[in-house]
Amino acid sequence: MVFLGGPRQVGKTTLAKDLVKTGLRGAYFNWDRLADQKAILNEQWTDQDRLLIFDELHKYPKWKNLVKGLYDTQKENHSFLVTGSARLDGYKRGGDSLFGRYHYWRLHPFTLNELPKGISKAEGFRRLMSVGGFPEPFLDNSAREARRWREERYNRIIKDDIRDLENIKDIQSMSLLLQLLRERVGRPIVVSNLAQDLQVSPITVGRWIEIFEKMYLVFTVRTYARNLARSLTKPFKVYFYDNADVIGDDGARLENLVANHLLKDCNFKQDYSGEKWELCFLRDKEHREVDFLTLKDGMIQELIEVKWSDKSISPSLIYYGEKLKANHLIQLVGNLDKPFTKNKLLVSDPASFLSRDFRKSP
C-alpha cells in the first residue's frame, strides 16, 4: 500500500483522483462522507477497481486494522492508496501492525523547484513570500483571497480535524498558542515561557505543539547534538508549512521559506531511498548560531545561514564549518544581486539556490 500524508488543502485528493482519471481503473472513497463510510465498511467495490483510494481514513478509530485486513485478503486484486491530512504514522490506532505492508510518502506545497508551468522563478519566489505555496492561494495570487482561505483552513483544522482526533477542551488557548508560534518563527522556543503566557502547564504546551505537527500545521527543527537526549532537552524552532502563516518581517518569512524547501528535500530523499535525513540548527552557549544543518544517516551534508539583507559572511557559519569539517557552506541573502563563491562557501540568492533539483543535491 501507499500512504500519502500532508497538510490539508495541499493537493492529496486532487492527486489521488487524477490517478484514476489518467486511466488507472479505481474507486475513490472519502471517510468524511457518510455514504462512503458505509461503502468502505461493507467493501462495496468490484474486482475491476484495481486501485482503491481511501481519503481521510485515519478519522476512523480502527482504520489500521481495517486496511490491514483488506490488504491481507485482497492484495492480489487491488492496490491501495490511503491519504490523510494528519500524520498517518502518528495515528496508527488499534493494536495490529502494518509493518512491511505500506510505503509512506509526504506531499508538500509548491516550492521553487516545483513551480507550475508559466510561472517564472522570480514570480514564484514573490508568491511564496506573499501568499504561500498552497495550490489555491498560490495560483489565485490574491492577498485578500489568501487571507480568507487561510482563516477557513484554520477553522477547519482547529474546530473540526483536531476535535475529531484529539480530546482537547481548551480550543481557545490552543488557538492562541498557534498565534504565538506564528510570531516566533526562527526564534528558539522555550516551552515554559509559552506555558506562562497561556497559563497552562508546559506539558500541555508540548502536547499541543505535537498535535500541530501531527496535523501538518507546523514542523519543529531541533538543535544538532550527537547525543539525541541532549538535543531533545534544548530549545527548538517552529516553522509553518504555509509560508504566509508567518507573522513578522521579511527575514522571518524567508527563513521559514528556506526551512520548507529543506524539509521537503529531506522528506523526499527519506521517503524515496529509505535513508535517514534530518533537518537541524546549530546554537552553542556563546550564542553562535547557524540556521540550518542537514544530516544524512547522521553525517553532516550542508550548513545553511539565511539573511535578508546582510551580505557580510556569517562568522558563525565559518566557525561551525571548520569545527564540523563541513564540505558545503551556504549563505542565502534575500536581496543579493549575484551569487558568488569563496573557498567552500557559496553566497546565493534564495531563488537560485532553492530552485535546484533536490533529487541530485547533497
- β-partners of residue 218 are 240
pLDDT in tens, 96-125: 578 788 999 999 999 999 999 999 999 999
Q: From the DSSP assignment, how many helices (H) and strands (E) are in the chain?
A: 14, 13
Residue range 50-74: average pLDDT? 93
What's the CA gap between 330 and 249, in Å, rounded? 22
- Please state whether beta strands 79-84 and 51-55 pair in parallel, antiparallel, or not at all (unpaired): parallel
pLDDT in tens, 247-303: 989 999 999 999 999 999 999 999 999 999 999 999 988 889 999 999 999 999 999
Report the percentage of the chain scoring pLDDT > 90. 76
Helix (H/G/I), strand (E/B), else coil: 282: strand
> What are the backbone angles phi and psi of residue 124, rounded to the nearest 5°?
-60, -45
- Please state whether beta strands 2-5 and 79-84 pair in parallel, antiparallel, or not at all (unpaired): parallel
Residues ≥6 apart with Cβ < 8 Å to 205: 177, 191, 194, 195, 198
What's the CA gap between 282 and 4, in Å, rounded? 31
The C-alpha cell that represents 237 in the structure block: 524552532
- Return the higher-pLDDT residue of 75 and 228: 75
Quick one: DSSP state of residue 157? I
The C-alpha cell that represents 42 in the structure block: 461493507
Q: What is the largest CA-CA distance in the chain?
A: 65
Q: Within 13 Å and on the Cβ side, how many CA atoms surround 76?
A: 1
The C-alpha cell that represents 227 in the structure block: 547525543
User: Residue 361 — very low, low, confident or very high, per pLDDT cuts 50/70/90?
Assistant: low
Beta strands in the chain (DSSP E): 2-5, 26-30, 51-55, 79-84, 103-106, 218-223, 237-240, 277-283, 289-296, 299-307, 329-333, 340-342, 345-348
User: Residue 229 — very low, low, confident or very high, per pLDDT cuts 50/70/90?
Assistant: low
What's the CA gap between 339 and 333, in Å, rounded? 9
> What are the backbone angles phi and psi of residue 237, rounded to the nearest 5°?
-115, 150
Interaxial angle between packed helices 202-214 and 171-182, expressed in degrees from 0 to 180 and rounded to the nearest 10: 80
Domain boundaries, the chain: 2-106, 121-354
User: Residue 351 — very low, low, confident or very high, per pLDDT cuts 50/70/90?
Assistant: very high
Looking at the predicted structure, is the pLDDT value of residue 94 above 60? no
The sign of the CA dihedral 156, 158, 160, 162 is positive
What local confidence, expressed as pLDDT, does residue 228 receive? 47
For 2-106, give the CATH class.
alpha beta
Q: Report yes or no: 307 and 319 within 8 Å, Cβ to Cβ.
A: no
- The chain-wide mean pLDDT, for the chain, equals 91
